[in-house]
């Protein structure tokens, strides 16, 4: 049984889409609803605890308590805190990379960018703790995911850059530096999770409302489409 994710086994399909997410599993997992449910509970609890306390401050005892499981049960599924943490980071990045699957050669650029931005804002709305876990990991120099970022995320961005360059060559959009375009999109969408407290304070809200996320998605989309020479096309309603 392997505890830590072997990032090098991850492969991208055509256009940078996820090809073998199953290869990213941190441990071999026999099929079974009971196991899936237990792991989902543990990962959801870990997401909250790691977001609130950071990696060093989190304990498997606290995570087990939040999950409503005995600590021994947690260690049955994840032998160490690091194995659990890396699996959580893996799950976060799997979802984030998959949200860009619509950025492919045969897609309409405006529709693809619009759908990607909506998905990224929605991820910040649905799983703010996930974004905070990842932000904290990056702020500490990515000690547990640096190899993934250098290899797999970089490969994903390069694949998407080729798609975007192809659209430019076909005169479907204006030239842009694709890597920096993704940096801008990530920063603009993930801020609604990472800096949620700041946003609530400025908006005068106890919570960020659905309409706020919708307005954010519309504005970010208009900005991105405008930069790509696609203004007025496929903007979310």
- What average pLDDT values come out for the chain (237 residues) when binned by 10 residues? 42 54 44 84 97 96 96 95 95 94 97 97 97 96 93 95 98 97 98 97 96 97 97 68
Domain boundaries, the chain: 7-227
The pLDDT of residue 16: 61
* Separation of alpha carbons 73 and 66, rounded Å: 13
The pLDDT of residue 34: 84
Structure letter (DSSP) for residue 7: G
The pLDDT of residue 23: 40
Q: Confirm if 28 and 5 have CB atoms less than 8 A apart.
A: no
User: What is the CA angle 165-167-170, rounded to 5?
Assistant: 110
Separation in Å, CA 211 to CA 22, 36, 125, 201, 233: 35, 33, 11, 16, 21
- Which pTM does this prediction carry? 0.84
CATH value of 7-227 in 1.20.120.530, 3.40.50.2300, 1.10.357.10, 3.40.50.2000: 1.10.357.10
């Amino acid at each position: 049984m392997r505890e830590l994710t072997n990032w090098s086994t991850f492969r991208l399909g055509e256009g940078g889409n996820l090809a073998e997410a199953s290869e990213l599993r941190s441990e071999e997992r026999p099929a079974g609803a009971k196991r899936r449910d237990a792991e989902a509970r543990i990962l959801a609890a870990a997401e909250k605890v790691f977001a609130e306390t950071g990696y060093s401050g989190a304990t498997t005892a606290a995570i087990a308590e939040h999950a409503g499981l005995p600590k021994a049960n947690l260690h049955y599924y994840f032998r160490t805190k690091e194995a659990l943490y890396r699996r959580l980071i893996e799950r976060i990045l799997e979802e984030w990379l998959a949200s860009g699957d619509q950025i492919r050669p045969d897609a309409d650029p405006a529709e693809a960018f619009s759908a990607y931005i909506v998905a990224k804002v929605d991820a910040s709305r649905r799983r703010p703790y996930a974004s905070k876990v990842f932000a904290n990991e990056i702020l500490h120099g990515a000690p547990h995911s640096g190899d993934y970022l250098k290899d797999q995320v970089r490969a994903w961005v390069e694949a998407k850059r080729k798609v975007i360059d192809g659209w430019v060559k076909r005169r479907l959009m204006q030239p842009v530096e694709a890597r920096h375009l993704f940096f801008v999109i990530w920063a603009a969408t993930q801020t609604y999770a990472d800096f949620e407290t700041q946003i609530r304070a400025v908006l005068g809200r106890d919570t960020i409302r659905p309409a706020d996320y919708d307005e954010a998605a519309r504005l970010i989309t208009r900005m991105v489409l405008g930069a790509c020479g696609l203004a007025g096309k496929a903007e979310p309603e």
